[in-house]
Structure 1
Amino acid sequence: MNVLVVNSSGRTDQSVSRKLVAELVAELVAQHPGLRIAYRDVAAGIPCVDDVMISGLYIPQEQRTAEQRQALRLSDQLVGEVQAADILVIGAPIYNFGIPAALKAWFDQIVRAGLTFAFLENGYTGLLHGKKVYLVVTSGAVEIGSSLDHATPYLRLLLGFIGLTDVEIISAAQLSLFGELPIGAAEDVIRHIHALA
């Protein structure tokens, strides 16, 4: 089975979300040593959608110019990583009540008509199914599920839009208020993860 690990924290050594993501991956590997792990650090840089990319999105691949194909190359690669994954582990610290800009840029690259969702006569349907998603969400002051949390509902919406509905949230929230306690609670959840058959 394949696991795709997506980190989005702008911090490295001091990142709680990265620490918890690493612990979750270690737990999954301990339970299932044959897992293949792929990593994508979106904080290292994901380009924003631009005119050239948009102009190539809605025309057949064979009609795209060389410039359009180049503009979509990373997007195609990112979509391929998600399609190949059986499990996604996404680290998402809450910045200013929402998700990091780098994570939004990643979603903008992978939400693709014909690849991860399809238009229907009266709406749309997600094309990615049968995958488990773990969202590792951290915050300094925002309570997960409160009216100030615009991150987790948005992430569930985006994931559901592309067909990923088996989503489990592991949170360490309000770290500036409660210190290490939320981290310990999240680590306890991770120790009791039994996600795979």
Structure 2
Amino acid sequence: MNILHLDSAITGEASVSRKLTAEIVARLLRADPQASVTYRDLNEGVPAIDTAWFNAVRLAPEDPSPEQQALIDVSNAYLKDVQDADVLVIGLPIYNFTLTAQLKNWLDQIARAGVSFRYTETGPEGLLKGKRAIIAYTSAGTPIGSEIDHASGYLRHILGFLGITDVEFVAADRLAMDREAGLARAQEALDRLAA
């Protein structure tokens, strides 16, 4: 089993989502000690897509410039992480009712027409099938699945669009309101996870 472990919280050691993703990965490794883990801390910086990215990656010139090749290499590396993974463990801290900019940038890097999804006569088809995603959702005040949660539904949707439909959430939400209750909910979800 290949595990892709992604964190994006800006709060360092104080991050609950980082603690939850680490615990999820530890449980997966206990169940399969031979599993490999690829770790990316998206907080270290994920380039946003822009016109230069579009011209290099999306338009795929036959003879890219060195600058274009560098953009292609970065996007390809993020995509290869996912292609090689059996399980994605994603930290989803909620900032301003949605996902982090770093996580959105990563999603933009891997959502590539003809590579991770394609359009068919019957609609879009995800090309990253057969993978499982476990999402560590954390928030100070935004209840998961509520009308002000603009992150969990989006992340489930975009992963499904890319073909990853086996998506589970471990949520420690409303931590600023009742930290102990939020952590207890997360623990219950952890205990329900199948390894």
Decide: shared fold, TM above 0.5.
Answer: yes
Checking the alignment, whether the CA contact within 8 Å between 2:58 and 2:112 is kept in structure 1 is no
For residues 34-77 of structure 1, give each alpha carbon's deviation from its aligned partner in whole angstroms, at most 9, with x where no partner exists.
Answer: 11011011011011112211012333463433322212211100
Residue equivalent to 1:111: 111
Q: Is the aligned partner of 1:33 residue 2:38?
A: no
* Mapping for residues 81-92 of structure 1, pairs under 5 Å: 81-92=81-92
Deviation at 1:191, TM superposition (A): 3.0
Task: Flag structure 1 segments of 5+ consecutive residues without an equivalent.
Answer: none
Checking the alignment, whether the CA contact within 8 Å between 2:126 and 2:160 is kept in structure 1 is yes
Deviation at 1:81, TM superposition (A): 0.3
Query: 1-side partners of 2:61 and 2:33: how far apart?
Result: 38
Residue equivalent to 1:20: 20
Residue equivalent to 2:8: 8
For residues 126-153 of structure 1, give each alpha carbon's deviation from its aligned partner in whole angstroms, at most 9, with x where no partner exists.
Answer: 1011100001100100111110000001
State the secondary structure of the residue aligned to 2:95.
coil
Bigger mean CA deviation after superposition, 64-73 or 168-177: 64-73
Q: Is the aligned partner of 1:94 residue 2:90?
A: no
Checking the alignment, whether the CA contact within 8 Å between 1:125 and 1:162 is kept in structure 2 is yes
Query: 1-side partners of 2:61 and 2:38: how far apart?
Result: 27
Checking the alignment, whether the CA contact within 8 Å between 1:27 and 1:191 is kept in structure 2 is no
Q: Is the aligned partner of 1:171 residue 2:165?
A: no
**Which one-letter code corresponds to 1:38 in the other structure?**
T
Residue equivalent to 1:135: 135
**Which one-letter code corresponds to 1:82 in the other structure?**
V
Aligned pair count? Answer: 195
Q: Is the aligned partner of 1:53 residue 2:53?
A: yes
**Which one-letter code corresponds to 2:94 in the other structure?**
I
- Percent identity for Structure 1 against Structure 2: 42
For residues 63-117 of structure 1, give each alpha carbon's deviation from its aligned partner in whole angstroms, at most 9, with x where no partner exists.
Answer: 4333222122111000000000000000001111100111001101111112111
Bigger mean CA deviation after superposition, 158-167 or 116-125: 116-125
Query: 2-side partners of 1:50 and 1:113: how far apart?
Result: 16
Query: 2-side partners of 1:150 and 1:100: how far apart?
Result: 11
Query: 1-side partners of 2:193 and 2:122: how far apart?
Result: 38
Residue equivalent to 2:145: 145
Query: 1-side partners of 2:30 and 2:13: how far apart?
Result: 23
Residue equivalent to 2:120: 120
What root-mean-square deviation, in Å, do the aligned CA atoms of Structure 1 and Structure 2 show? Answer: 1.4
- CA gap 1:122/1:55 in 2 versus in 1, 3 angstroms: farther
Query: 2-side partners of 1:178 and 1:4: how far apart?
Result: 31
Residue equivalent to 1:62: 62
Checking the alignment, whether the CA contact within 8 Å between 1:20 and 1:187 is kept in structure 2 is no
State the secondary structure of the residue aligned to 2:38.
strand
